Amino acid sequence: MQRNFMNSYTEIDTPALLNEHYEIIQDRWDQALTACQLDVVILHAGAARFYFEDDQGPRFQPNPHLLQWIPPEYAVANSCLLLSPGQKPCLLFYQPEDYWHATPAAPEHLSTYLDIKVFPTHGALQTYCADHAHKCATDPKGIAFIGEVTDQTQLQSNWQANPPQLIHRAHFARAKKTEYELAAMRNASQMGALGHNAAAQCFTDGGSEFDVHMAYLTASAQNENELPYGNIVAQNENAAFLHYQLQKRECAAVQHSLLIDAGGAFRGYASDITRTYLKTDANTTNETDSVFLELLERMQTHQDKLIAAIAPEQNYVALQQLMHQQLAHILVDTNILRCSATEAFESHLTEAFCPHGLGHLLGLQVHDVGGQQISATGDLQPPPENYPSLRFTRPITQDMVLTVEPGVYFIPALLSNYQAEDRRFNWALIESLKCYGGIRIEDNVRVLTTGVENLTRDAFAAIQSEGHK
């Protein structure tokens, strides 16, 4: 699937990228199977589902473990991939003769890397899968099935379903991205940047949340089913809901702010970008607008410092603490809190203004797996008690892709936990800022040996250089 949305689109179907990618992921799975004393693993795409008492259902979401091997348009429901150490992977591609829905042709362009077999019936595919697996295994217990088990006929006697020791190794390894994966994520970032620019312009022109959402879809060349996650398009006080989902059609009488959290998906790999805007009008700008604008500027500097602190072996929990220490200074300097920055941090006051984590792993899933896993065997590092939403706690390593998304919000449900008599809070100013909801700025960065590659800002720079608005 090629999207010619930009001249700087990265071609990823090159022999160099594909060869390296398949060599790396095959070696990872070979090592994992050997360590777990398994002969075969079946990566099952999954099955389509229907809503309760209906013949319609949600969009099909393939098993992300399979998506490392084949692009999502070829990860057809009921297909599967068989892996055995030292053997060429075998894709069992389900291609029913169906006049209700279109089925893609098999991905023959990947035949260098995969042995591809096409099946017109599900029964024939299941029979071949079982026979092939047993031929490769010395014992039925040496066969593992990875995927959602929706039908027990998928499994044979003594097969292991989603053995934790294998899942742990797969999750842990996925954090380090191949060059192919990074190229896909650069393209996803450019899709997202195009969408964000269009969304910002639509907001400037007076568009509603729904209008902004539709402008994003058009500019990023995605439909609803292709988005990596549902767009968060929040104007005014709605930005105080971290995962706001309503996308109102009507415009607010007065538009104060826009927070848009939206990404792109390319070959199954995601970008996850957030920007916040103030609706400015020289004739109506007031004192509170000026405070919010100062907050926006300070939050950008805040994010810059956090990104600059990222390095291999850095402790991400320490960066989470740094986020709150820096936020304490911002809240004190803007007179939102009337105490010292030290007291604001040590008394956990900043957590009422930013209840989420600094960031998470990004890749085949938006909140990618393994973020709290500190070893390939499944040892976990839970987040600190006062940062329960932190999704990433393991040491940072080279070629991880992380989100960095500091925020500051005016959330009534959290602020109500403090007494109105608490003079450390400037309640009058806070009340006036509630109509703006909050601010979040989110970039996606690849960790280098020194510093980072900022996929998000590079994407915005690339589309600006090509003259895209």
**Whether 327 and 418 share a structural domain:** yes
**Whether 315 and 429 share a structural domain:** yes
**Whether 183 and 142 share a structural domain:** no
**Whether 355 and 458 share a structural domain:** yes
Residue 174 falls within a domain, yes or no? no
Spatial separation of the C-alpha atoms in residues 161 and 56, rounded to whole Å: 28
Per-residue pLDDT reduced to its tens digit, 28-55: 999 999 999 999 999 999 999 999 999 9
**Whether 223 and 278 share a structural domain:** yes
Residue 4 falls within a domain, yes or no? no
Give the pTM.
0.94
Q: Of the candidates 162, 191, 225, which is a domain's last residue?
A: 162
pLDDT at 463: 92
Residue 357 falls within a domain, yes or no? yes
CATH, residue 329: 3.90.230.10
pLDDT at 200: 97
Residue 14 falls within a domain, yes or no? no
Residue 133 falls within a domain, yes or no? yes
**Whether 153 and 193 share a structural domain:** no
Residue 458 falls within a domain, yes or no? yes
Per-residue pLDDT reduced to its tens digit, 228-243: 999 999 999 999 999 9
Q: Of the candidates 115, 137, 162, which is a domain's last residue?
A: 162
Residue 25 falls within a domain, yes or no? no
3-state secondary structure the chain: CCCCCCCCCCCCCCHHHHHHHHHHHHHHHHHHHHHCCCCEEEEECCCCCCCCCCCCCCCCCCCHHHHCCCCHHHCCCCCEEEECCCCCCEEEEECCCCCCCCCCCCCHHHCCCCEEEEECCHHHHHHHHHHHHHHHCCCHHHEEEECCCCCHHHCCCCCEECCHHHHHHHHHHCCCCCHHHHHHHHHHHHHHHHHHHHHHHHHHCCCCHHHHHHHHHHHHCCCHHHCCCCCEEEEHHHHHCCCCCCCCCCCCCCCCEEEEEECCEECCEECCEEEEEECCCCCCCCHHHHHHHHHHHHHHHHHHHHHHCCCCCCCHHHHHHHHHHHHHHHHHHCCCECCCHHHHHHCCHHHHCCCCCCCCECCCCCCCCCCCECCCCCCECCCCCCCCCCCCCCCCCCCCEEEECCEEECCHHHHCCCCCCCCCECHHHHHHHHHHCEEECEEEEEECCCCEEEHHHHHHHHHHHCCCC
Residue 1 falls within a domain, yes or no? no
Parent domain of 125? 37-162
Q: Using 50 as the pLDDT threshold, list the residues of the chain that sit under it.
A: 1-4
Q: Of the candidates 108, 127, 162, which is a domain's last residue?
A: 162
- Counting the structural domains of the chain, the total is 2
**Whether 201 and 133 share a structural domain:** no
pLDDT at 1: 36
pLDDT at 8: 65
CATH, residue 103: 3.40.350.10
